[in-house]
Structure 1
Amino acid sequence: MRFLPVILTLALVVYALVDCVRSDDSDMPVGLPKAVWVILIIVFPGVGAIAWLVVSRVARQGQRTPGRPLFGGGQSHPSASRGPASRPLAPDDDPDFLASLGRPEPELPTEPEATAGEDAPEPDAGPQDEDPSPRS
């Protein structure tokens, strides 16, 4: 039981560090650079981690658009709010590909088959059993 506060503080510091490092430089709260936040979280483990979590959540909530829920139901990736992607990420997201699924395949040209009687090649006359010239 003595180690529980140490383990919880360590987990809080690791979570705050990962959250700080993964956030964009343009989203840093209070105008402090990312490096300063990382140093604060490491030097003052409990207080720095809690300060980062509180200040970053308040700053993110202030940037949130009205009517959009804070948790769940929102866009899962921050780049999703930047506008439409320049190209689809997968074939099932490509409208041209999906439209082509309903179209019939184009027919490939086939070679004309030779019919009997029309320019059909003569069958080979196999080896002859009888030789017209006498043998001595």
Structure 2
Amino acid sequence: MTRVIIVLIVVAVAFTIYTLVDVLLTERARVRAFPKPLWAVVVVLLPVIGGVLWLVVGKARRTGPGARPIAPDDDPAFLRTLSSEEIAKRAEQDERLRQLEQELADLDDDTPADPER
């Protein structure tokens, strides 16, 4: 039982340190409800509860273009930079890749006529 309590204390301390560092390193524009120094005090005085409150209430989610990385195929700005020749070349490569995958699938489907070979 004592081991469980020690492990829980270590986890609580690690979580508190993580959230305190997160409070201090978060951009001011992403902080909600209270100013950063007050959030730091809340996290330190209420170790686990303060950390959970910070992550749920205090830190705004990222929005805008930097929120999630977008694959080049899904990014309209990137697609606008491509010339029609590059798009045609890419389509040829995709078609060749599909043909090769089909040939490999056909080879995998072939079973030997004589099972003893």
Q: TM-score, length-normalised on structure 2?
A: 0.50
- Is the radius of gyration larger for structure 1 or structure 2? 1
- Larger RCO (CA within 8 A; separation ≥ 6): 2
Structure with greater helix percent: 2
Q: TM-score, length-normalised on structure 1?
A: 0.44
